[in-house]
Structure 1
Amino acid sequence: MNKCKGILRCLAGSNVLGLFLWDVHGNITEANDAFLNMVGYTREELLSGRLRSRDMTPEEYRRLDEKGLRDLAETGVCAPFEKEYVRKDGSRVPILFGAIMLEGSQHSGISFVLDLTNRDKVQKALSESEAQREAILEASFDCIITIDHEGKILEFNPAAENTFGYRRSEVIGEEMAERIIPPASRERHWAGIRHALATGEGKVLGRRIEITAMRADGSEFPAELKMTRLFLKGPPAFTGFIRDISERKWIEQERHRLSFQERIARTETEEARRHMAFLSEAGTLLASSLDYETTLAGIARLAVPYLADGCVIDILEENQTLRRLAVAAADPAKEALGRKLFHRDPSDLNGQHPIRRALQIGKSIFLPEITDEMLVSVAWDDEHLKIARSLGLKSAILAPLRVGERTLGAISFVLIDSGRRYRTADLELAENLARQAGAALQNARRCRGSWKEIRAHKRSKDRL
């Protein structure tokens, strides 16, 4: 803002260059004497609030004005162009018109008007205004780089020096692409320049786009570019307005990261709440009866479909033989196939079968993806393999029913056609359920043993 005030003070006393301030409604809110003399209005008429640049612009120049307004909105700068104003007395005055937005404002700006009636005066005024042009370049926070039709740098403002790490004297006359365009993007840059020269159009001209730029030390950074073509005598030139958007990109990425973490946290919290409710319901079921065959069959049903598409529970009897206690599936047809698959004595399971391995090592077997090779390795025979394949097993967890150092059986969870696959969080839930079921099974067996002892003691006592 201090720089803008300095520019205003510099321009206010000019007796050749007209200057006026305007607001978002297009009203001229302040003007120097040079401008008022140029258009023939008095300061009293200015203060009345009735002066508007648009009202003094002939219809044929309105499109140029609209383009200038778009440039101001997009880049904060309206490049100078020629037009006419209609004076108060109805006569016309040819002018050179330019404008910039005031720093920190989206709704007000300053316009510069040069009377082209006397070209000698114009040349003198242009010379006098060179320092003013330099002040505008100095005040800009955006990098302003102008190149000729060969891509060589004609202008390199202080913001560009600070951003790219070059002194102006180092780059004037040098190819811009070699200085600020990464090697991987240079051919595309030259193709765009050639197309713009040949057709007067281009994908980047007049549009704000994001590019990757390169500093003097070779480091790259994201930038925003607005490129305009300058129609000068001779070959055309191009001015680019470039802004380092590294901080903005970082803020966007950080916002996305935090948003993603928040969604994950909400999902995990909700999942944990559902898991706790599931385990609580399982605990209530297991505590409802000492008839462990009934309660464990209920656990198999409870696990489907919350934790599995199919559930099988095998228990080790006192003589260490394996007995299948329960089979449950979400699809009755799949459940029937599952019972057929396991109709043989589970004690026949070979040592490679995941259930047998879980019993032997006392740890869970986690199979996030079941392959056909796995099915072949554990099948009893061709018929058994055919049934296993028809079930369409996709993923499995086999958790031992373990209490302390003792393994009492195993509970198997499988996913078939729900589209899910087991994750580590599912393994933790399955093991928690298996621990609850193992503890309930041991407690029921102990109580059953105690009852047998009591009844035997009573019978002995009765015989006596």
Structure 2
Amino acid sequence: MFRVLVVQAHSDSLARALDGVDAQVSRASALPSFAAGFDLCVLHPHAVDDLGALEPFAVANIPVLLVDDGLSEARLAEFCTAGCTHLLQQPSDALLQAQVKCIARQRAARPPESRAGSRVFETPMMGMLLSGPEGQVYDANETLLNLIGYSREELNRGELNWRALTPPEWLGASEDALGAVSAEGTAAPFEKEYLRKDGSRVPVLLASTQESRGRNLVVALDIRNQVQTRQRLALLSEASALLISSLDYRETLEGLANILVPALADWCAIDILGQGGEVQRLTVTHRDPEKRELARRLRGERSIDIRSDTVVARVLRTGQAEWVREVPDEMLQAVARGPDHLELMRSLGLKSYAVVPLSTGKQVLGCLSLVHAESNRVFVAEDMGYLRELATRAALSLERAALYEAAERGKEQALLVAHIGEVLTRHDTLEAALGDCASAIARDLGMAQVRVWAADNQRRVLRLRASVGRHRERDEEHRLVPFGLGSAGQTAVANEATIRTLGEAPDASWSDHEGIRAFASFPLHIHGSLIGVLAVYSERHLESDTLA
């Protein structure tokens, strides 16, 4: 049951408990007990001045929403039923300032001898400290000590000073607040960061007021969740702008990986699923260039088999994200290809990972892999919704770019067909015509090498009749290719097109040329009869409709 505490000062009932299951309101003549617990407190502005009468609320660790008087009970019921996902999850600035004044009034009402020796209020909702004019911290509650990572023993030894706990760039704002407290007795809430004992930082929302003898009472709210939300929204906005900035998906997705590191992860890799089911590693990035090279060594030239039981392959097949909060060494041992590979993985310091599909809702186009390592961060379940949203936007950008590329390839192929038709009518000899055709294919489709074989009359041997490109030094060994041997010979026997990617083909002799990443061979027909084989060699991955 979702329970909401609605606090109103000027009404017949001091407070109301609103249950979201049946959207009914139960009234109470006094503040309901906090023993049963509430999921949210809705506080009307005119109730702020009466916080002194609501001490149980001051120590209740529940989210607070400050609303206006026009919010009806029916609307509150709707909020409850919806789970309040769009409501504020921390007290507002106005409420925080009111709480500081309330606490100060309560302390001032105590006898001086009682107040002097007492610690500030213990509440899990907010950190509190008493500080002197030079920054020394006289007292603090456990919430504040836990927030900054220090012990009460260190506090009692006089080791805490708020100036030392403040990063240099935040000292100016802190001094301004101190001046306001000295002049007016209180300072408006403002955001800053504290330096924790371990060197990390924690963002807080501070409000302060002056006590007797020049001491200041400071209240600090942990706003890590809010700051993270703001940062992630800004990151999502930046990523979205990048993803729509170009139709070159390689450029935009590589840019996306650079945006996500180190803001969202220490490592980022993006894999793309080709039309033929092959998996292409588009990019892997890390702040340290040496570690990027280490990751490339880890992957090597091996491509992922979509049928394998690797995390990436499973995510691509199922379209379901996978994540691990902490990667145990046993997991590394299970996937290592040998002792050297295991040590290489260990050297990366992998701590936590999340792999999210690039899915448009209709199809999976790839996956986004994020890894935490040296930062000691971990992925948690609450991260996955944000990562899915980010991956969906990347997938839609990838789909848009793929549609554009397909349209452009269609134009190129139409022009190529027209060009080849013109070439075939221009030459008197077969060699000259095939040579010009090969040149047109290499030029218009950006191929590194193009070869054309003609079948002999007995259809036993392919004879090389044309070769164009940067790797003609090996033409002689491919001059005669028996049917059934080599990639071209197998295409002649199978009488169907073949596309192979480096690392996936059983016969990779075609990849001996420097820089060649993919090979495609196509049977040539006249009136349904095989007359030869056309082969293209590419320095990039090829799509199934390359020469459709």
TM over 0.5: no
Structure number with the higher helix fraction is 1
TM-score (norm 1): 0.43
Q: More relative contact order in 1 or in 2 (CA 8 Å, sep 6+)?
A: 1
Larger Rg: 1 or 2?
1
